Amino acid sequence: MIWLLISGHSLLFQKVLHIDHWLFTKINQQWTNPFFDSVLPFLRQQEIWYPFYLFLLVFITINFGRKGWWWALSVVMTFAISDLISSWGIKALVFRYRPCRSPLIADQVRMLVNYCPQSSSFTSSHACNHFAAAVFIFITLKQTGSWWWLVFLWAFFISYAQVYVGVHYPLDVTCGALLGCGIGYAMNTFFQKQFGSLSLK
């Protein structure tokens, strides 16, 4: 298993980790306000987004019928595959203390959620899962409306909230987001090959 610590790596990577710690401090402790303190912890909760998921299901099945159900299953599979790779693959190979458990900074972290997971901080599964879904949703549905780019804001704010509340570093969510984008693109390629494109025309 690889341990991501400030020491024990090349000078370049140590510098990257120092910058990562600096940016975490800015987001978690300085770039804050009461509104974000109230809202961002809730954005992380899956239950908050049930209406959005329901809208997607209704929209896709009404407009595309059986193909829409295959699309919905593909979204679920996108979430599942990204979570499997991030949570059970990368985190099993790379361990990094979460900010809220780090021996170096844990006592300085503003914790805005009730618990700090013991699992590895790298990569952020929230970021990986939601960016994978965002890429898949955007590419497959962009022909049906010009506003689907908003799913990237959805994924971004959920990922940003992970840093803001104190459970991930910026590098964790950035790498998770990049990984998720790759998974989402691959799932789109698979879906297009199996079922074709979706269009309201």
Q: Residue 128 has what pLDDT?
A: 98
Tokens of 2: 């690889």
CA separation for the pair 188, 96 (Å, rounded): 31
Q: Residue 26 has what pLDDT?
A: 97
Q: Residue 46 has what pLDDT?
A: 87
Q: Quick check: 161 and 45 in contact, CB under 8 A?
A: no
Q: Residue 145 has what pLDDT?
A: 87
- The identity of residue 15, as a single letter, is K
Q: Quick check: 64 and 158 in contact, CB under 8 A?
A: no
Tokens of 161: 């909230």
Q: Quick check: 128 and 82 in contact, CB under 8 A?
A: yes
Q: Quick check: 189 and 200 in contact, CB under 8 A?
A: no
What average pLDDT does the structure give for the chain?
A: 92
CA separation for the pair 81, 183 (Å, rounded): 8
Helices (H), 48-169: 50-83, 91-93, 125-141, 150-164
For the stretch 3-55, pLDDT in tens is: 566 555 667 878 898 999 999 999 999 999 999 999 999 999 889 999 999 99
CA separation for the pair 6, 78 (Å, rounded): 33
Total length of the chain: 201
When pLDDT is averaged across residues 160-182 and rounded to a whole number, the result is 97
pLDDT band at residue 1 under the 50/70/90 scheme:
low
Q: Residue 13 has what pLDDT?
A: 78
Q: Residue 110 has what pLDDT?
A: 96
Least Cα distance to 87 among 48, 43, 132 occurs for 132
Could you say which DSSP state residue 9 is in? S
Q: Residue 132 has what pLDDT?
A: 98
Q: Which residues contact 153 (CB under 8 A, 6 or more apart)?
A: none
Q: Residue 103 has what pLDDT?
A: 87
CB-neighbour burial class of residue 52 (10 A; exposed 0-12, middle 13-18, buried 19+): exposed
Question: What separation in angstroms does the CA of 170 have from each of 17, 87, 198?
Answer: 10, 17, 35
Q: Where is pLDDT greater, at 57 or 197?
A: 57
Q: Report the predicted TM-score, pTM, of the whole model to 2 decimal places.
A: 0.92
Asked if pLDDT for residue 60 goes beyond 80, the answer is yes
